[in-house]
Structure 1
Amino acid sequence: MAEAPAESILSPRDLAQMIDISAVQAFHTEADLREVARVALAEGFIAVHALPHFTALLATLLPGRCGVLVGGPIGFPSGGNRTETKLVEARGLVADGATEVDMMMNIGRLKSGDDAYVATELAAVIKAVAPVPVKVIIEVSRLTDDEIRRAATLVAASGAAFVKTGTGWTGLPTTLHHIRLIREAAGAEIGIKASGGIRDLETVAAMIEAGVTRFGINTDVARDLIAACRSLPDGGLRVAG
């Protein structure tokens, strides 16, 4: 008889250390950014992401020893920028204090079968910001299963730190099916960041069990999830595996 999988309990703090929150909509203001930084410090979220023009300010709000990473996007949200533009943006983010970056893959090139272009661009950006870790956004809701496998394989081979499922801007959710495809194609070593439509602890637990190591979640929803985690009978979220 097969043994039941081992279980662990994620405390609210443990869970917060798996969640990025952000202010990356075009309409987000300085006041919004300051509030998101305050929430991250209060709740212990692992990172805050802001649009590039706010990166320097965010770095002052979250100084190096505070324990919250400063993130920013490259080629966001379409991924269609020239490689030269992405390189300028990447170097600028790091110069302004970003301690991790989320890069949008060129999805049009991937869907056109131009894997060499995608691989070359990934390598160039990763080299430009090293040793700052790069998460590569592949926008799973716009890809076929085969394209997701190809994208995940390219990211794993590039030396990126994470495959990120999406921008959260499509209105379509990341699913367990997407996570399983990525983990199968990318292997066990690379991180997976799930972003888009994640709203409840049941989904969070299932995605962790499938291989997710980081989440990108709306700030209000993230706070609600931590509160819900805190109120669970075991004092945390039970996760198998």
Structure 2
Amino acid sequence: MNNISNRRQPPASLAPRDLAALIDISAVQAFHTEADVRELAGIAVAEGFIAAHALPNFVPLLRSLVPSGGLTLVGGPVGFPSGGHSTRTKTAEAVELAENGAQELDMMINVGRIKSGDFGYVRSEIRAIVEAIAPVPLKVILELAHLTDEEIRAASAIVAESGAAFVKTGTGWTPSATTLEKLKLIVETVGGAVEIKASGGIRSLDAIAGMMRLGVTRFGINTQVAVDLVRQCTALPGGRLDIAGKAG
């Protein structure tokens, strides 16, 4: 898994709409209300963000608010935010979300099993959910703040061989931000076998450009920050974010 030559090369630059098409926005905190979900849907559709995610009970509402066949996908979380649910519970939740119209799912990995070295359990769980919801793509969240470097490598390798579509860095429920150093561990491990979604503490165009140069192809960003970043991209010279060099 250490061959990074197979990963997709990033574009030289991004227009604002291209940037929005790489960003997931969400209302998945415990305090988010129906009004928040309605606002989320409106922003996602208006700005062209690639996906909007809501907590499972709000996914049917979100699905009703986001036009089918448009630029924005509807998503939801599985086993969120702890990852400690049983495989049977996670699978049932994933199937229900898919039946309710979710077009992609972000599943929290079982951190306790990773830290216990029970990699077979984790591998079997991911594969079971991938199979149960196919062809709906699954992103697997590692929650890097809870893992050592070796555990990040081990978990990334499991995700890459499990049939999941993405490995994702975090839920956004921990205070730790995703760093380039931690992302490098994932990139070096998965070698282009699975896409990478960076989430948690991403606040600048420079950070996005740097992560894309490493191989990140999707971002989870706070809704207001995401809107602001698209506006900042519009204001750049030529209205494009330079990925090959530095923003601005």
User: TM-score range with shorter-chain normalisation?
Assistant: over 0.9
Q: Distance in 2 between matches of 1:166 and 1:181?
A: 14
Task: Give matches, 1:149-228, under 5 Å.
Answer: 149-228=153-232
Structure 2: which 5+ residue stretches go unaligned?
A: 1-8
- Map of 2:29 onto structure 1: 25
* Residue number in structure 1 paired with 2:6: none
The one-letter amino acid of 2:201's match is G
Return the structure number with greater relative CO, CA threshold 8 A, min gap 6.
Answer: 2
TM-score relative to the length of structure 1: 0.96
Provide TM-score, normalisation by structure 2. 0.93
**1:75 corresponds to:** 79
Deviates further, 59-68 or 74-83: 59-68
Instruction: Measure, in 2, the Cα distance between the counterparts of 1:6 and 1:140.
Output: 24
Equivalent residues of 2:44, 2:72 under 8 A apart:
yes
Q: Deviations over 1:139-197 (max 9, x none)?
A: 11111111000010000000100000000111100000111110110111311000000
How many residue pairs align between the two structures? Answer: 237
Shift of 1:125: 0.6
Contact 1:192 1:212 in 2 (8 A): yes
Percent of aligned positions that are identical: 60
Runs (4+) off by over 3 Å? none
Evaluate the alpha carbon distance shift between residue 55 and residue 189 of structure 1 in structure 2; reply closer, same or farther with a 3 A threshold: same
Deviation at 1:67, TM superposition (A): 1.9
Unaligned runs of 5+ in 1: none
**AA of the residue aligned to 2:102:** A
- Three-state SS of the structure 2 residue aligned to 1:70 is strand
1:119 aligns with 2:123: yes
Instruction: Specify the alignment match of 1:41 in structure 2.
Output: 45
Equivalent-residue separation in structure 1 for 2:11 and 2:79 (angstroms): 39
The CA deviation at 1:32 is: 0.6
The residue number in structure 1 matching 2:4 is: none
User: C-alpha root-mean-square deviation of aligned residues, in Å?
Assistant: 1.3
8 Å contact from structure 1 (residues 180, 211) kept in 2: no
**How far is 1:54 from its partner?**
0.5
